């Protein structure tokens, strides 16, 4: 198993709409190994999510797991989830503002408005149709990873860059606001 090289902001693959994965390709040992290596890579860099474009593969697959992340220490746990060809079928009108970072946007974090609740339909790694209803931090991670598969970065979703901060300054000046109270936006 290999730790994969993470694509950094500026690499064109991050801006492409990724291709859907066929059931035939999903079943191959090569693709299953890619999924395993994405999970290993997410763990290696303490991410809570990783999409295939972030490892130079323009296909619609992402992995999510939240468990005692040093990058997001207060985030509630989410068990390992592999999303193939995900689509967000519903988004709540209610939004939330939360801090996001990205392994492809090294050392930066900013506050991003997102739908508070989403429903996501996808295939699991075995090709079975699945559906998740998620809220709060899990909903944010789902939206962040689905965005990657459409060539979008969290920076694109920020209302403005007034909260964009390096991690050291985040810890110094902003960390006490890491999990902000519910803050509906209009
Ligand atoms: Ni990201």
pLDDT digits (tens, 9 = 90+) for 92-121: 999 999 999 999 999 999 999 999 999 999
Whether 74 and 66 have beta carbons less than 8 Å apart is answered as: no
Q: How confident is the model at residue 185 (pLDDT cuts 50, 70, 90)?
A: very low
Residue given tokens 């991050």 in the structure block: 14
The Cα-based distances of 25 to 19, 20, 57, 61, 106 in angstroms read 12, 10, 14, 12, 31
CA triplet 174, 64, 148: central angle to 5 degrees? 80
pLDDT digits (tens, 9 = 90+) for 142-167: 999 999 999 999 999 999 999 999 99
Separation of CA 158 and ligand 1 centre (Å):
14
Neighbours of ion ligand 1 (CB under 5 A): 102
pTM beyond 0.85, yes or no: yes
Separation of CA 169 and ligand 1 centre (Å):
20
Positions marked catalytic? 145
Separation of CA 25 and ligand 1 centre (Å):
24
């Amino acid at each position: 198993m290999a730790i994969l090289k993470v694509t950094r902001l500026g690499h064109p693959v991050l801006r492409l709409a990724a291709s859907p994965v066929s059931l035939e390709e999903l079943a191959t040992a090569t693709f299953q190994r890619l999924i395993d290596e994405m999970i290993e890579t997410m763990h290696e860099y303490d991410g809570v999510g990783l999409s295939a474009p972030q490892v130079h593969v323009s296909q619609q697959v992402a992995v999510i797991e939240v468990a005692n992340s040093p990058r997001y220490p207060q985030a509630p746990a989410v068990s390992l989830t592999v999303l193939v060809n995900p689509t967000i079928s519903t988004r709540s009108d209610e939004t939330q503002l939360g801090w996001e970072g990205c392994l492809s946007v090294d050392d930066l974090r900013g506050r991003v408005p997102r739908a508070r609740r989403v429903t996501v339909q996808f295939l699991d790694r075995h090709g079975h149709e699945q559906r998740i209803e998620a809220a709060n931090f899990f909903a944010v991670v789902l939206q962040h990873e689905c965005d990657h598969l459409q060539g979008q970065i969290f920076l694109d979703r920020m209302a403005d860059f007034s909260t964009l901060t390096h991690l050291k300054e985040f810890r110094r000046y902003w960390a006490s606001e890491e999990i902000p109270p519910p803050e509906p936006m209009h």
